[in-house]
Amino acid sequence: MVTVVATGVFDILHPGHLEFLQEAKKLGDRLVVVVASDEMVRKKKRTPITPEKQRLRMVSSLKGVDKAILGDREDLFVPILKIKPDIIVLGKDQDFDERNLEEELKKNGLNTKVVRIKKFWEGELNSSKKIIEKIKVQ
């Protein structure tokens, strides 16, 4: 059984998220989604609009998602080391270098392949940032 892990904030769930997760699911048998904690989102991006428990519940309910868990508050690798996935998928806009991430995983004893999903929903509101900006303008 091939386990695929997708990670993200999933704030203001939109079709871009759905397409990302659908493409991730195609790469394996089991899709586990790690939803970033509020604390981690604040450190890396901004204060999330939607609280972590609500984002986790939304992602958990999506077709194709076999399991969704909340990410660690301080270390991105904690859930990955527990899951031991065969594949980690990155979205088009996620700020990670695939080779560096694979090397870091190997240092932690994992032979996990990192795949960047390049397909991206082309609709007008294809990111949480764009949705937030549009709401501000209204």
Where are any strands of DSSP class E within 66-128?
67-70, 87-90, 113-116
Domain that holds residue 71: 3-137
- Secondary structure letter of residue 13 according to DSSP: -
Strand partners, 114: 88
Specify the number of domains making up the chain: 1
- What does the DSSP assignment read for 73-88? SS-THHHHHHH--SEE
Q: Provide the CATH number for the domain around residue 102.
A: 3.40.50.620
Cβ burial of 21 (10 Å; 0-12, 13-18, 19+) is buried
Strand partners, 35: 8, 70
Hey, is 39 helix, strand or coil?
A: helix
* pLDDT tens, position by position, 81-127: 999 999 999 988 788 888 999 999 999 999 999 999 986 656 666 67
* pLDDT tens, position by position, 17-67: 899 999 999 999 999 999 999 999 999 877 888 999 999 999 999 999 999
Is 0.85 surpassed by the pTM of this model? yes
Predicted pLDDT of residue 134: 73
Which residues contact residue 43 at a Cβ distance below 8 angstroms, ignoring those fewer than 6 apart?
A: none
